[in-house]
Structure 1
Amino acid sequence: MPAKTLKIHPKDNIEVALADLKAREEIASGDNRIVLLTDVAAKHKFALNDFNPGDDIVMYGVLVGKAMHAIKTGEVITTKNIKHASGDYELGDRKTKWLIPDTSTWKNRTFMGYHRADGSVGVANYWLVIPLVFCENRNVQVIQDAFAKELGYQNDISTERDQVKQLIKLYKSGKKASEILEVDFSVETDVLTEDQRIFPNVDGIKFLNHSLGCAGIKEDTRDLCGLLAGYITHANVAGATVLSLGCQNAQIDMLKEEVFKRDPNFSKPLYTLEQQQIGSESKLLSQAVKQTFAGLIQANELSRRPAPLSKLCVGLECGGSDGFSGISANPSLGHASDIIVELGGSVILSEFPELCGVEQELSDRCIDEETAGKFIHLMRSYHDKAKALGSGFDSNPSAGNVRDGLITDAIKSAGAAKKGGTSPVADVLDYPEKVRKPGLTLLCTPGSDVESTTAEVGAGATIVVFTTGLGTPTGNPITPVVKVSTNTRLYQKMTDIIDIDAGTVISGEETINQAGERILEHIIRIASGEEKAKAVASGHDDFIPWKRGISL
């Protein structure tokens, strides 16, 4: 019979319900027997001892809250009886010893990827069309409308367009609203199959519309150019067409400076067009269409070749997290992360507001004091800026997080950090810097799912693995975003957006290591183009640059 509860760490004084528990139910916790005083829903926690006001609440072995009033043994823990609290941190000693996994199974494994001149290997091959300023978004949309369907890159949204056409015909034939609501769609689209595409070695043309580039602070302008440069130099990208108005803060020269900062020997096709120099909109668009088509011809000359797993760069993301995230999907992904690191690959852990409370552990894991110092500085300056604007890290948990058991930011953070496994921290980067070293990198980003995913990809993530307990459709234009559910119910409910079920850890069907190794095998299939992430198949191309004003 599966366990009903879990005490995560020996120091913990609260325990997690793995199933719905009823008041007066007797629970075994170690050598103790506890009679529950209240109902405790699955994913939520109950007290293992009596608490007085101000007492520490400990979970994952770290401080995650303070009792606001007296709590009895066996009573459910809620936002009404505890509040967020986290431990202090400082520059401590190096603690880089880690649980090195057995990698013999994967030592000689390869994936089929696109080899780039800078030595990186992509898992996909895209062409980008980028507005350097929001004024060009409309022109980018025109180019998208011109190319996507004709070249066979129309996403599944074409199905909805055909459904609207069908409804128009029914309405014109005299159907009433009540009859329209009963329509059972059976639509065949005229989307080209991959075998019929004009450029079979090009996975698509992607369009990175955004709302920045001018009228903001100079830091946001520089960060935007850095982020876009990260996408242009990305291993999953063959080249880019960039549209500029001309008078905006984000200048073409600034973008090129950021490109060469990331790749001094940059040699991909890069076409830049400035509307105020060219003249009419029609001339701009004609040049953009011709240059983009020429770029696609060049991109199509590439094909997949074997590459070692050391060439993988995996972003570690979570969103719509729940009370099972830190005990199923996240530690399973952490085990996969450790295997990738031991094989010489790179993994990226971001979302700094969701590392609140585990700063000491992560800073101690940094390979040297300089790296640890940078992490501490970024965490403190980010938190101070948030507080100055009236919203500290304790504001991070969403309504869904709280409803499903993550009632303080420190509880959420302690579980979120498990995605990073146990390996030493090789590097710490500020947004929008690019990954420079193999191993585990900490990247400063918001906890916001799309902003963080956008940033991880800009830093070089060729695949993002995204754990979720509540479900989310988040994707990315150029990098597959693989969804892992923390619970089986979610996996069964959202089969269209969830790729992997880690709820098997909760049910006892798999260990954390077994689930992690299954995640890694899925990553390899995605990287080789043998399987599509569901976010890719559904056309979820979310792209939101971080505007540093403040975002949590």
Structure 2
Amino acid sequence: MSPFEGKIIQVHPDDNVAIVVGAAGLAEGQALGDGLVATGRIPQGHKLALTAIAVDDPIIRYGEVIGTAVAAIARGEHVDEAKVRLPQAPTLGDLPLATRPAPVLEPLEGYTFEGFRNPDGSVGTRNVLGITTSVQCVAGTVDYVVGRIKRELLPRYPNVDDVVGLNHSYGCGVAINAPAAIVPIRTLKNIALNPNFGNEVMVIGLGCEKLQPSTLLDDRPVRIYENTEAADPEANVLSLQDASFQGFGEMVEGIMAMAERHLERLNRRRRETCPASELRVGMQCGGSDAFSGVTANPAVGFATDLIVRAGGSVMFSEVTEVRDAIHLLTPRAIDEEVGRALIEQMAWYDDYLSQGQADRSANPSPGNKKGGLSNVVEKALGSVVKSGSSPIVDVIGPGERLRRKGLTFAATPASDFICGTLQLAAGMNLQVFTTGRGTPYGLSMVPVLKVSTNSQLGRRWHDIIDLDAGRIATGDASIEEVGWELFQLILDVASGRQQAAADRLGIHNDLVLFNPAPVT
């Protein structure tokens, strides 16, 4: 990345466009040196032609073709989305697999955080009681009970950070036996196993739903709670339609009684020093702009490599924001099997979009375009930078759990909410979320650190953004410096020494399941 007199940034020497730096943008007639003059007003983050570009000639950013010119573009002209023709996506049949030698990354030793170690060996960054629901019908009741638990029970268990209802819109009125139904079902199963819940699985159901609570317990014994004096102290399933309950009040008291047993066990957990190798970090971006691939995402990529060097686990996701850069990723697969798994996830999603009579041009969003991103190719090239330079050791499907330490591609849609839900199911214990346009997004189950791509947003949203990476664009900090800063912030937040802004403000989004199966 080479700044051009501090007013524009040309990422790669081969680029024939650069993005504008500075909140005021460029004024018409503004000289930039070397005879380059803006031919009209160009907003911050938007592209300016460094050379004359003929019709049908390639438009190059990040050293890659992001499209072709719809019409002739003069040197110094604003290159907006209307002037860029979307190219074809890379074909999947002839991509190079595992051809890039793995970079030599020196192990990073001695870094630790204070976490909650679980019986299965995983480590949580928070100590949370998660109440799983088997069907949306019970969501209102669970929300009501969670409020009472927080007021009446939680103060008695000071080592428990929170109680959350894992509500969703699934469970009934769905084709539960359809092949694609495996995605939401395994997602719900695996969310309950997230390290931050301390292996305390508790399921509330209605009773008549298609997705029976016992299904969510997988291989765990089902212990039904009944409203009797001899209620099972190890109960993990309660159905509101159980005949032992007389009225809403008894249902609520039953849930609270069952929750208290789980709180008692969670309260015995204590933070202990754990190696950084126990980090499971999800990397995501949303409300992106043209700076995402220049500042925040490269810094996140540097932090990704640090976590991998420390022996930890990192996942990056968002199939539609990877698809057009897949040719840059398959060479990084650790072996051909992992490379083929990457291709299979791309092909599955291509087919999924086709069945819905949609295509990749539905991304980016209007806000992304206002931030200077012309199309999904440009967005993808900036998005995959979050993955750093480490080899890709595994690929998991939507809703599956992490299997290996190192860098994993966790296949998800690009939707912030669905991606976050699926990364939660994969087992992340902390998430890093980059944004250029801004979003108050957060999750109640894991800390979410938000990194701004430009300092204008960092200053304007000073109490929502956790780290400003916009300093990279202005030359006030390097990618490496911000990457190290983020790595240390991850350790501090994972240890409970520092609180993510979203948690401090109590901003938390709902879970949103990815359900590609039919609804009946």
Matched, 1:229 2:189: yes
Call closer, same or farther: CA 1:445–1:270 in 2, change over 3 Å.
Answer: farther
Where in structure 2 are the equivalents of 1:237-276 lying within 5 Å?
A: 237-238=197-198, 239-257=200-218, 271-276=236-241
Aligned to 2:168: 210
Aligned to 1:180: none
Aligned to 1:545: 513
> Residues of 2 paired with 1:362 and 1:278: CA distance?
55
Aligned to 2:294: 327
Aligned to 1:167: none
Call closer, same or farther: CA 1:33–1:214 in 2, change over 3 Å.
Answer: same
Aligned length: 494
Q: Secondary structure at the match of 2:372?
A: coil
> Residues of 2 paired with 1:99 and 1:15: CA distance?
29
Task: Give runs of ≥4 in structure 1 deviating > 6 Å.
Answer: none
How far 1:540 sits from its partner (Å)? 2.4
Aligned to 2:43: 41
How far 1:530 sits from its partner (Å)? 0.3
Among residues 137, 140, 148, which one is paired with 1:138 in the alignment?
A: 140
User: Residues 375-412 of structure 1, C-alpha deviation per residue, up to 9 Å, x if partnerless?
Assistant: 11211221232133232112111111001101111111
Q: For structure 1, which segment, 282-291 or 534-543, has the greater mean C-alpha deviation from structure 2 after superposition?
A: 282-291
> Residues of 1 paired with 2:276 and 2:42: CA distance?
43
User: Residues 62-83 of structure 1, C-alpha deviation per residue, up to 9 Å, x if partnerless?
Assistant: 2211211221222111122113
Q: Secondary structure at the match of 2:138?
A: helix
Matched, 1:370 2:337: yes
> Residues of 1 paired with 2:235 and 2:411: CA distance?
28
Aligned to 1:159: none
Aligned to 1:501: 468
Among residues 83, 99, 103, which one is paired with 1:95 in the alignment?
A: 99
2:168 and 2:512 in contact (8 A); partners too? yes
Matched, 1:18 2:21: yes
> Residues of 1 paired with 2:411 and 2:272: CA distance?
33
Aligned to 2:305: 338
Where in structure 2 are the equivalents of 1:48-447 lying within 5 Å?
A: 48-89=50-91, 90-97=94-101, 100=104, 107-151=109-153, 197-218=155-176, 219=179, 221-238=181-198, 239-257=200-218, 271-280=236-245, 281-447=248-414
Supply the AA of the counterpart residue of 2:150: A
2:289 and 2:368 in contact (8 A); partners too? yes
> Residues of 2 paired with 1:40 and 1:253: CA distance?
58
2:81 and 2:373 in contact (8 A); partners too? no
User: Residues 111-144 of structure 1, C-alpha deviation per residue, up to 9 Å, x if partnerless?
Assistant: 0000011111111110011210011112212211
Q: For structure 1, which segment, 347-356 or 67-76, has the greater mean C-alpha deviation from structure 2 after superposition?
A: 67-76
> Residues of 2 paired with 1:69 and 1:207: CA distance?
54
Supply the AA of the counterpart residue of 1:346: S
User: Residues 157-178 of structure 1, C-alpha deviation per residue, up to 9 Å, x if partnerless?
Assistant: xxxxxxxxxxxxxxxxxxxxxx
TM-score using structure 2 length: 0.90
Structure 2 residue runs of 5 or longer lacking an equivalent are 222-232
How far 1:215 sits from its partner (Å)? 1.1
How far 1:497 sits from its partner (Å)? 1.4
> Residues of 2 paired with 1:279 and 1:13: CA distance?
72
> Residues of 2 paired with 1:269 and 1:392: CA distance?
49
Q: For structure 1, which segment, 485-494 or 329-338, has the greater mean C-alpha deviation from structure 2 after superposition?
A: 485-494
How far 1:100 sits from its partner (Å)? 4.9
How far 1:86 sits from its partner (Å)? 4.7
How far 1:490 sits from its partner (Å)? 0.9
- CA RMSD in angstroms comes to 2.1
Aligned to 1:474: 441
1:213 and 1:224 in contact (8 A); partners too? no
Supply the AA of the counterpart residue of 1:15: A
Call closer, same or farther: CA 1:200–1:21 in 2, change over 3 Å.
Answer: same
Aligned identity (percent) is: 32
> Residues of 2 paired with 1:355 and 1:387: CA distance?
17
Matched, 1:484 2:451: yes
1:3 and 1:18 in contact (8 A); partners too? yes
Among residues 4, 8, 11, which one is paired with 1:5 in the alignment?
A: 8
How far 1:523 sits from its partner (Å)? 0.4
Q: Secondary structure at the match of 2:351?
A: helix
User: Residues 282-320 of structure 1, C-alpha deviation per residue, up to 9 Å, x if partnerless?
Assistant: 443332211101110110001000000011011001111
User: Residues 12-44 of structure 1, C-alpha deviation per residue, up to 9 Å, x if partnerless?
Assistant: 22111123222333334xxx6423322222211
2:298 and 2:388 in contact (8 A); partners too? yes
TM-score using structure 1 length: 0.85
Structure 1 residue runs of 5 or longer lacking an equivalent are 153-196, 261-267
Supply the AA of the counterpart residue of 2:512: I
User: Residues 324-358 of structure 1, C-alpha deviation per residue, up to 9 Å, x if partnerless?
Assistant: 11100110010000010111101010111111321
Supply the AA of the counterpart residue of 1:468: T
1:243 and 1:274 in contact (8 A); partners too? yes
> Residues of 2 paired with 1:101 and 1:277: CA distance?
57
2:432 and 2:449 in contact (8 A); partners too? yes
Q: Secondary structure at the match of 1:371?
A: helix
> Residues of 2 paired with 1:258 and 1:471: CA distance?
41
Call closer, same or farther: CA 1:25–1:207 in 2, change over 3 Å.
Answer: same
1:244 and 1:272 in contact (8 A); partners too? yes
1:331 and 1:421 in contact (8 A); partners too? yes
> Residues of 2 paired with 1:35 and 1:259: CA distance?
68
Q: For structure 1, which segment, 222-231 or 428-437, has the greater mean C-alpha deviation from structure 2 after superposition?
A: 222-231
Supply the AA of the counterpart residue of 1:55: D
